Structure 1
Amino acid sequence: MDPLDKHLSGLAAALGPYRTVAARLADWGAELAWHLGRGGRLLVAGNGGSAAEAQHLAAELVGKLREDRAPLSAIALTPDSSAVTAIGNDYGFEEVFARQVRAHGRPGDVLLVMSTSGRSPNLVAAVRAARECGLRTWAMVGPGPSPVGDICDEVLRCPSPDSQVVQELHLVSVHVMCEHIDLTLPRVLAGSAPEGGSTVTKPLLVVVGDTLLDRDVEGAVHRVAPDAPAPVLDEESVSERPGGAGLAALLAAAQDDYRVALVTALAPDAAGARLSELLTAAGIEVHALPLPGATPQKIRMRSRGQVLMRLDRGGPAQPPGDAPDGLLDLLDAATAVLVSDYGRGVAKHPAVRAALERASAPIVWDPHPGGPPPVPGVRLVTPNLSEAVGFTGDAARGSALSTAQRAGQRLRDQWRAQAIAITCGADGAILCQAGPTPLVVPAPGDAGDADTCGAGDRFAAAAALALAAGALTSEAVQDAVSAATSYVLAGGVAAALSPPAALPTPEPERIGADAAGQLAASVRERGGVVVATGGCFDILHTGHLATLRAARGLGDCLIVCLNSDDSVRGLKGPDRPLNAQADRARLLAALDCVDAVVIFDEPTPEAALSWLRPDVWVKGGDYADGGPSLPEAELVKRWDGQTVIVPYVDGRSTTRTIAAAQAAAVITTSGR
């Protein structure tokens, strides 16, 4: 075989299985965006060709992948020849990376090691050093167990026996991970972290269950087949979406306040790769068990909204392989767990059940007639009425209410569950808890003949999210009935998964050095006058407003140089500022007389003024009538700028406002 054909054949053979394992890259990219975007560091190491790929990754992060963005701290431990040779000479080659990890790594940082064989002693030593220093450890290696991959916290094993193909897949992984970093980074830099710099950790919902690929083939029927009494469907469009537990995860992920992870089983085939692509694109963390055989598919042939035929692929259910690394840790971190069982083996997997039994988070279990019973002690089980009757063997005597009540109480005892919510379609749900009296939750609207596909998933996901938020079980069921009814009335799964209508682009906040610099440049380009002023603006009052309006009247734009929190503390003392710099900047930017705000850390804004170079620098009335000198005045003269003073409103100042508030508090306290 021609070497090119041979090589490409090996690469092509690895791509299908690789797409399944590479779902981990979305998680790694998102984690690195949050960590590096807040000042953390990535260390990367590898030998030979992997050393070049380690340098490549560091270059993409310190530089850029596609669009311009802030530089991120990434250090390749390979290119410093002096350090590598000195450490190798003095401590041995096995220590060339470990010693650098101890020097550069900080608790919480990430070490990523890259190796085709996974056997390099210097990488094993580096990982051990990283763990001792409190770093997280990731590995990109070849297939199968390896000393490097086995001791890391997380590992991506590229499925090819050819080391050259493994290296090429590592390079693909570098680029894909960087794409995910760039997708997540804008949320980090837009202020998703709270005051003080720590990140708000979103509640984690873990969905466990079987995922399948749903395909809808839409078309028109104009004739009957000449060789059989069957309609001929002329295909017009095909749509694909995750089904089963994947749909439940997708519906939950639409709630932006929650992080969603999915524990499922996927085969190394085109359908499994497509599911990984759809799920990770929706922001879902996929933790996949290997699935023998084929990924299940449900293909619906439809015309004018009616299903003509359904074709199922994937064959009989087969037990999934080994549970993914870190499953116990994932469930331990969960705020709530949803088991969406579709009877194909994930909920029956021994390791998965053991992890669920140990989980402390509330569990909602959506059962399947072909699946196992829920683990004991789950918070809520959500069968529909026909499933409940089937589970108990009840003869469905009497009304739906009496049947549901009997079945619910029997299942609650049988499964040792805390509560059973039996869904009854358009009639809502019946909740059976401790005690003989059920809670009936009617549906808030009549869905008529609407498409109910996915309504059970929407119900279970809404209940799990409500429990994650601290709701009582009765409140969670009410939320779930309301959510499922709204879902059906809005058009079901097709409407729920349709892309949202485009929203108008919000006006930028006009905060930061980029905004201020672009504004100054555009004003100068059209011959305008750039005006700047500065201050702490801790409590915005009418005195400030008068100064800002007067300053804005002196030119064509006003840029406010705002003291940072550290700068205010240095000037005013440890009790100031009363309001954080982010809040002060937003209030100023919201004023119609302020065109941009830039924050500085020094005691005076001289550094900011040096690159802004305003035509007019404005100070308040404190500097009039023989007050203190203006240190910025001489600086502004360097570019022929002018410094002016505008008067304050008499009797208005932040210091007087704070003093008056403190005096009022003392009087109130003493009068009690």
Structure 2
Amino acid sequence: MTDPLDKHLSALSASLGAYRTVAARLADWGAELAWHLGRGGRLLVAGNGGSAAEAQHLAAELVGKLREDRMPLSAIALTPDSSAVTAIGNDYGFDEIFARQVRAHGRPGDVLLVMSTSGRSPNLVAAVHAARECGMRTWAMVGPGPSPVGDACDEVLHCPSPESQVVQELHLVSVHVMCEHIDLTLPRVLGGEPERTIVEKPLLVIVGDTLLDRDVEGAVHRIAPDAPAPVLDEESVSERPGGAGLAALLAAGHEDYRVALVTALAPDDAGARLSELLTDAGVEVHALPLPGSTPQKIRMRSRGQVLMRLDRGGPAQPPGDAPDGLLDVLAAAKAILVSDYGRGVARHPAVRAALEHASAPIVWDPHPAGPPPVPGVRLVTPNLAEAVKFTGDAAHGSALSTAQRTGQKLRDEWRAQAVAITCGPDGAILTQAGPTPLVIPAPGDAGDADTCGAGDRFAAQAALSLAEGALVSEAVQDAVGAATAYVLGGGVTAALAPAPEQAAIASPERIGADEAGRLAASVRDRGGVVVATGGCFDLLHTGHLATLRAARGLGDCLIVCLNSDDSVRGLKGPDRPINSQIDRARLLAALDCVDAVVIFDEPNPEAVLSWLRPDVWVKGGDYAELPEAELVKRWDGQTVIVPYLDGRSTTRTIAAAQAATTSGR
């Protein structure tokens, strides 16, 4: 028999890792309460049962003190007045015992904090609605997963444990931690510092069906004796949100935006796990009730190959009615992405009505089993196969002609402002009002890389760019770049650890020290010859091209060491370079004879050569000797000079242009 103490402590310990992530919100809540209460504002707190005791505990800590003596702060627990509670319950019903007190004591700008382990108490939901009517802010401390109480509030702290006792204990920890932050901030409030301005991040709302993706990794060493099937010995299991949940997870990596997800979840273990994963990533979950089971996709994998996929959840079922206030989040959005996976959320009448009335730009990623977009959306993003299926097109001719034809048909049929048809490694083709499409090529070749989630990454980036005021064409270009970098960076597995922003440029365009280093190591591993050359390459001309092509012919890869802007100014004067280092690097990387570009800041390339260690160092011109030659000899490298086309010179070209400008030609 398991010892009750061990069982309880094990449950508490299991929740602490996830709790540390969500509890970061307490610092913000504590600071906000310090500014509000320190200036004469009020906090109302409510809860039932054990949560009622914790509500009273919080009020006592604020009216009294936590540690050091300080001014009393106005906090009212709505639970301890037995006369008021019983009178209101007798006259108006139990569901109104908190709501009526909120209307009596609450003032615009005040805060209502409700505490509940289940998150399903009707009297707390009623209190939240009453607080909103009074112009109050509403916060909730609840258990894991979506709930009517949490969904009704402006901000939610989810305590991640299936055990109600553990949830209550984490609520008590949260009370104490929040009070600590109040005490830390309060001296600044009382000391006369300017009031902190709370900058609300703009909101991106994702709408669509969410499922739980589970990858089971293992090894296969034998065939089952009772059937001709491989036996997978399980080694690890990883879980992540799929469908619209993955789009929300990817968008949540953008630190300048809040991300909310309007979806449907069943009250089962998979639904609770999804809510936990999304909340931990900073996504606000607004869940419609889902009959049946939360859908799951379970992939059995070995050595990177999928052996079998098991789907759970059964046929799609329409979600239930939206709780009051659930869809208000759409009205507050800066941009909306509908990530339809054909299971009913995008078809929900209340959801569609809210989308039709939304003022924010909408990106709609459609599904063949889903409904058409609502009229007037800013951008629809089917892939080429989906576009052909939607239109019934025979897909004759090239991919470009097919995309142009189907894009125009879908734009007219759906009354959309624009349609961007994604074409995998070929980028996207955008159809707008005019007859001529805009082709946006992908900035890199993903080869056979895993493209799972690339469509979600594309659509999420398009929505984020539109939220920032980009034109549709600019948003699609951003989306192509983001989706390409996502695939090249390792796809969905690597998406949980986002790469730096510059990686979107460096990887597809082969620019940077990391790219050059990886290339050189790869060529050496297969016994090849690494060639390098260097220079400013300010205005690229045929003389440069001749040198680069000659250098590339001397080995198996060519890496260009490019002087940075500061380096060029030091060598050529304050008026140089004409073009920035990133523009010069991109032009060089686009040449078929250049395999990578690395930028260096020093006056000469000796530092970069010391770690790159090329087998051949090439210069173009008629040098009698090169100072780098002695350095290259240290690793048995060779320095060579290749012919330079006579009469081609950047300095001469600039001088001629200046002379033409001066003479007025």
Q: Fold match, TM over 0.5? A: yes
AA paired with 2:229? A
Aligned to 1:426: 425
Aligned equivalents of 1:187, 1:131: Cα separation in 2: 29
Aligned to 1:56: 57
Aligned equivalents of 1:248, 1:208: Cα separation in 2: 10
Aligned to 2:265: 266
Aligned to 2:402: 403
Aligned to 1:330: 329
Aligned equivalents of 1:499, 1:444: Cα separation in 2: 19
439-448 vs 313-322, greater mean Cα deviation: 313-322
Q: CA deviation at 1:289?
A: 0.8
AA paired with 1:44? V
Q: CA deviation at 1:301?
A: 1.1
- Say if 2:90 is the partner of 1:76: no
Q: Is 1:46–1:114's contact at 8 Å kept on the other side of the alignment?
A: yes
Query: 3-state DSSP class of the match of 1:257?
Result: coil
Aligned equivalents of 1:405, 1:187: Cα separation in 2: 60
AA paired with 1:349? H
Query: 3-state DSSP class of the match of 1:298?
Result: strand
Aligned to 1:110: 111
Aligned equivalents of 2:183, 2:477: Cα separation in 1: 36
Quote the RMSD (CA, aligned, Å): 4.9
Aligned equivalents of 1:248, 1:500: Cα separation in 2: 17
Measured at CA, do residues 118 and 327 of structure 1 come closer, stay the same or move farther in structure 2, by a change above 3 Å? closer
AA paired with 2:385? S
1:318-364: CA deviation from partner (whole Å, max 9, x where unpaired): 11111243234211100000000011111111111111111010000
Measured at CA, do residues 454 and 105 of structure 1 come closer, stay the same or move farther in structure 2, by a change above 3 Å? same
Alignment of 1:117-266 (within 5 A): 133-136=134-137, 171=168, 174-175=171-172, 197-266=196-265
1:597-642: CA deviation from partner (whole Å, max 9, x where unpaired): xxxxxxxxxxxxxxxxxxxxxxxxxxxxxxxxxxxxxxxxxxxxxx
Aligned to 1:594: none
AA paired with 1:39? H
Q: CA deviation at 1:199?
A: 1.3
Query: 3-state DSSP class of the match of 1:171?
Result: helix
Aligned to 1:614: none
Aligned equivalents of 2:457, 2:28: Cα separation in 1: 28
Aligned to 1:44: 45
Q: CA deviation at 1:292?
A: 1.0
Aligned to 1:314: 313
Identity %: 73
Query: 3-state DSSP class of the match of 2:36?
Result: coil
1:171-223: CA deviation from partner (whole Å, max 9, x where unpaired): 3684586599699999999x9xx975221111100000011111111112222
Alignment of 1:362-511 (within 5 A): 362-498=361-497
Measured at CA, do residues 477 and 346 of structure 1 come closer, stay the same or move farther in structure 2, by a change above 3 Å? same
Aligned equivalents of 1:171, 1:412: Cα separation in 2: 52
Q: Is 2:440–2:477's contact at 8 Å kept on the other side of the alignment?
A: yes
AA paired with 1:344? R
Alignment of 1:349-364 (within 5 A): 349-364=348-363
Aligned equivalents of 1:63, 1:52: Cα separation in 2: 16
Aligned to 1:639: none
Measured at CA, do residues 46 and 449 of structure 1 come closer, stay the same or move farther in structure 2, by a change above 3 Å? closer
Measured at CA, do residues 49 and 395 of structure 1 come closer, stay the same or move farther in structure 2, by a change above 3 Å? closer
Q: CA deviation at 1:294?
A: 1.0
Aligned equivalents of 1:184, 1:258: Cα separation in 2: 24
Aligned equivalents of 2:261, 2:274: Cα separation in 1: 12
Q: CA deviation at 1:136?
A: 3.9
Aligned equivalents of 2:181, 2:406: Cα separation in 1: 46
Q: Is 1:39–1:73's contact at 8 Å kept on the other side of the alignment?
A: no
Measured at CA, do residues 279 and 50 of structure 1 come closer, stay the same or move farther in structure 2, by a change above 3 Å? closer
Aligned equivalents of 2:125, 2:289: Cα separation in 1: 27
Q: Is 2:141–2:171's contact at 8 Å kept on the other side of the alignment?
A: no
Aligned equivalents of 1:227, 1:407: Cα separation in 2: 50
AA paired with 1:386? A
Measured at CA, do residues 86 and 415 of structure 1 come closer, stay the same or move farther in structure 2, by a change above 3 Å? closer
204-213 vs 172-181, greater mean Cα deviation: 172-181
Aligned equivalents of 1:222, 1:125: Cα separation in 2: 59
1:108-148: CA deviation from partner (whole Å, max 9, x where unpaired): 2123467999788xx99988985675324578999xxxxx9
Q: Is 1:36–1:72's contact at 8 Å kept on the other side of the alignment?
A: no
TM-score (ref. length: structure 2): 0.59
Q: CA deviation at 1:265?
A: 0.7
1:650-671: CA deviation from partner (whole Å, max 9, x where unpaired): xxxxxxxxxxxxxxxxxxxxxx
Aligned to 1:342: 341
Q: Is 1:26–1:285's contact at 8 Å kept on the other side of the alignment?
A: no
Aligned equivalents of 2:180, 2:334: Cα separation in 1: 25
Q: Is 2:47–2:79's contact at 8 Å kept on the other side of the alignment?
A: no
1:578-600: CA deviation from partner (whole Å, max 9, x where unpaired): xxxxxxxxxxxxxxxxxxxxxxx
Aligned equivalents of 1:228, 1:186: Cα separation in 2: 67
Aligned equivalents of 2:373, 2:184: Cα separation in 1: 38
1:541-562: CA deviation from partner (whole Å, max 9, x where unpaired): xxxxxxxxxxxxxxxxxxxxxx
Q: Is 1:61–1:178's contact at 8 Å kept on the other side of the alignment?
A: no
Q: CA deviation at 1:224?
A: 2.1
Aligned equivalents of 2:367, 2:440: Cα separation in 1: 23
Q: CA deviation at 1:56?
A: 2.8
1:285-336: CA deviation from partner (whole Å, max 9, x where unpaired): 0001111111111111111111111111111111111124323421110000
1:354-402: CA deviation from partner (whole Å, max 9, x where unpaired): 1111101000000111111100000000000000000001001110000
38-47 vs 289-298, greater mean Cα deviation: 38-47
Measured at CA, do residues 201 and 409 of structure 1 come closer, stay the same or move farther in structure 2, by a change above 3 Å? same
Q: CA deviation at 1:54?
A: 1.8
Aligned to 1:18: none
| Gap runs ≥5 in structure 2 | 12-18, 501-665
Aligned equivalents of 2:180, 2:471: Cα separation in 1: 36
Measured at CA, do residues 60 and 411 of structure 1 come closer, stay the same or move farther in structure 2, by a change above 3 Å? farther
Aligned equivalents of 2:344, 2:242: Cα separation in 1: 15
Measured at CA, do residues 96 and 292 of structure 1 come closer, stay the same or move farther in structure 2, by a change above 3 Å? closer
Query: 3-state DSSP class of the match of 2:308?
Result: strand
Aligned equivalents of 1:31, 1:50: Cα separation in 2: 22
1:436-460: CA deviation from partner (whole Å, max 9, x where unpaired): 0000000000000001010000000
Query: 3-state DSSP class of the match of 2:311?
Result: strand
Q: CA deviation at 1:39?
A: 2.7
Q: Is 1:287–1:324's contact at 8 Å kept on the other side of the alignment?
A: no
1:219-239: CA deviation from partner (whole Å, max 9, x where unpaired): 122222223222222211111
Measured at CA, do residues 221 and 402 of structure 1 come closer, stay the same or move farther in structure 2, by a change above 3 Å? same
- Say if 2:282 is the partner of 1:290: no
Aligned equivalents of 1:474, 1:130: Cα separation in 2: 43
Equivalent pairs counted in the alignment come to 459
Q: Is 2:62–2:75's contact at 8 Å kept on the other side of the alignment?
A: no
Measured at CA, do residues 341 and 99 of structure 1 come closer, stay the same or move farther in structure 2, by a change above 3 Å? closer
Aligned to 1:582: none
Aligned equivalents of 1:155, 1:385: Cα separation in 2: 40
Measured at CA, do residues 54 and 225 of structure 1 come closer, stay the same or move farther in structure 2, by a change above 3 Å? same
Aligned equivalents of 1:180, 1:411: Cα separation in 2: 54
Query: 3-state DSSP class of the match of 1:264?
Result: strand
Aligned equivalents of 1:268, 1:181: Cα separation in 2: 30
1:423-448: CA deviation from partner (whole Å, max 9, x where unpaired): 00000000000010000000000000
Aligned equivalents of 2:458, 2:251: Cα separation in 1: 10
Q: CA deviation at 1:155?
A: 12
| Gap runs ≥5 in structure 1 | 13-21, 143-147, 159-164, 502-672
Measured at CA, do residues 98 and 398 of structure 1 come closer, stay the same or move farther in structure 2, by a change above 3 Å? closer
Aligned equivalents of 2:371, 2:273: Cα separation in 1: 28
